Amino acid sequence: MTKTALLFAGQGAQYVGMGRDLAERYAPARDLFQQANETLGYDLARVCAQGPEFELTKTEHAQPGIFVVSWIALQLLQRRVPSLTFEAAAGLSLGEFTALAAAGTFTFEDGLRLVRQRGQFMHEACDATHGSMAAVIGLAEEPTRAVCAEAGVELANLNCPGQLVISGETERVAQACELAKARGAKRALRLPVAGAYHSRLMTSARAKLDVALATVILAPPRVPVISNVTAQPHGTPETIRTRLVEQVTSSVRWEETIRYLLDQGHRQFLELGPGTALSGFLKRIAPQARVLNVGDPASLEATVAALAAEPARILSEVLEGCHRG
């Protein structure tokens, strides 16, 4: 049987209008947006649906917005495919919280409050520092690490072969971009983000998140959830708290995460939530893997149809093998 892993996007996947067509078409999506509004005490659904963009891209709105749309995608898919099972989950940065909620570590409401607080804490850290991030395209990890050391910045995301993200003080990031291009990078470009995520400039957010996590009851995940910090499955609730705090200032080891899941036999991946960036990374890491996504009604219907066809495809392959034998 094909082993399936769920993948959940991080900040940067947001766009004005995300989740709107799902809410318009499906009553459970509307109900979850209403539940989110009541939990947070403001109209997150309106911000997701209407923006404006500068408001949605604020960390304290983008993070809960992506969390809710990703959760809606999962719930709608499970309603349409009741037999759906998954054997692992992972999420990029913010998405790790969604993955843990999907695995039952905390409730939807607790996860939503946590990511809202996390976004606020990171926003405050951005305001107190002068940081930025940049994507380095076409340069391997080791020379990129050398560039980071020389410029005094940090390697924030190891997304896939040829796509890394650096983070740090704005002037130092600009210097690192020039160094990377001089060392052979195809491109090195600033990202439209508010600050230096996954770097030491987020240190003030760590202590605040630690306090927030201490107020939430965590359960062991029902399936393995892969930590961004270690690229290995999370352990006890106590270590989950520790890793989620560490994640704020640590590198996101996404390529290693996917390779771990592949090594464990996962060959089908479902990206849930806005955007398809994780599907793109996966195709660069493992072109042979099957990846489906749910972010709007069209992709939901396509994924439902693909999953419905899967048993017939497997049976056909088995029968073909028997005939050859």
pLDDT for the residue 323: 45
pLDDT for the residue 27: 98
pLDDT tens for each residue of 16-49: 999 999 999 999 999 999 999 999 999 999 999 9
pLDDT for the residue 226: 98
Q: Which of 7, 4, 215 is nearest to 94 (CA)?
A: 7
Backbone torsions φ then ψ of 14, nearest 5 degrees = -65, 150
Query: Other CB atoms closer than 10 Å to residue 138's CB: what's the count?
Result: 15
264 and 3 Cβ atoms separated by less than 8 Å: yes
93, 132, 167, 227: which one is catalytic?
93
pLDDT for the residue 311: 55
202 and 248 Cβ atoms separated by less than 8 Å: yes
Q: Is 266 a catalytic residue?
A: no
pLDDT for the residue 9: 94
In the predicted model, residues of the chain with pLDDT beneath 70 are 1, 311-325
pLDDT for the residue 8: 98
Domains and CATH numbers, the chain: 3-127+199-324 (3.40.366.10), 130-190 (3.30.70.250)
pLDDT for the residue 322: 41
65 and 48 Cβ atoms separated by less than 8 Å: yes
pLDDT for the residue 23: 98
61, 123, 132, 198: which one is catalytic?
198
pLDDT tens for each residue of 263-292: 999 999 999 999 999 999 999 999 999 999
Q: Is 93 a catalytic residue?
A: yes
Provide the whole-model pTM.
0.93
